[in-house]
Amino acid sequence: ITFSNLVMDNVTGPVSMRLGGYLGYLRERKESLPIGTFRNVLISNIRARVAENSKPIFPNDGHEGEQRSCISITGIPGHNIEGITLSNIHITFPGGGTRQEAARRQIPELRDEYPEYFMFGILPCYGLYARHVTGLTLHKSCPRGYQSPQTRTKMPIARIKIRVNSKRVFEDKPFLNHGATTSCVSTELQHNR
């Protein structure tokens, strides 16, 4: 599957990929639908600006995760998303994250919930959140920055294998710490202790 040459302006949840189960809209099933596969997706040549003050479409339907959303790629334990390539992705985020949001490490799996980009609430990063992913490749792709002060890191990454510009730089480690940085120019992911 390929998505390319897209321009998005004033959006929330610019890219969201989710593999999980689902109990149904009214949770009418006793067991989740069987878990499928999610693999071999290329997203390339994307320019986007995430909305600064996103307001819910329906007045009583706001979700915390709509505020300060990021790219999220999430599988579930035992069912990784595989073979995802982000190439030439440039997204500007609004910023505004808090220290409490940056320190958040207990992100629920929500295996049986309907997949939505805001389902995990405000994530501990402003750029890319990836969990239960094998073969994530970043090529000339990174968050472009933010428009207001930001305390969250670009990319807290958990339980994934990652390549940046064809070099394997990170594999099956716990969250990068708060001070982790990425460089979109030098092709390396640094783990600051």
Residue 56's CB: how many other CB atoms inside 10 A?
Answer: 12
pLDDT-derived band at 125 (thresholds 50, 70, 90) equals confident
Quote the pTM value.
0.75
pLDDT of residue 29: 73
33-42, 60-69, 105-114, 151-160: range with lowest mean pLDDT: 151-160
14-18, 51-55, 114-118, 187-191: range with lowest mean pLDDT: 187-191
Cβ partners under 8 Å of residue 57, min gap 6: none
Query: Which pair of structure tokens corresponds to residue 113?
Result: 């919930």
Regarding predicted confidence, which is higher, 153 or 64?
A: 64
- Residue 66 — φ and ψ, nearest 5°? -70, -25
Share of the chain above pLDDT 90, in %: 22
Share of the chain above pLDDT 70, in %: 64
pLDDT of residue 191 exceeding 70: no
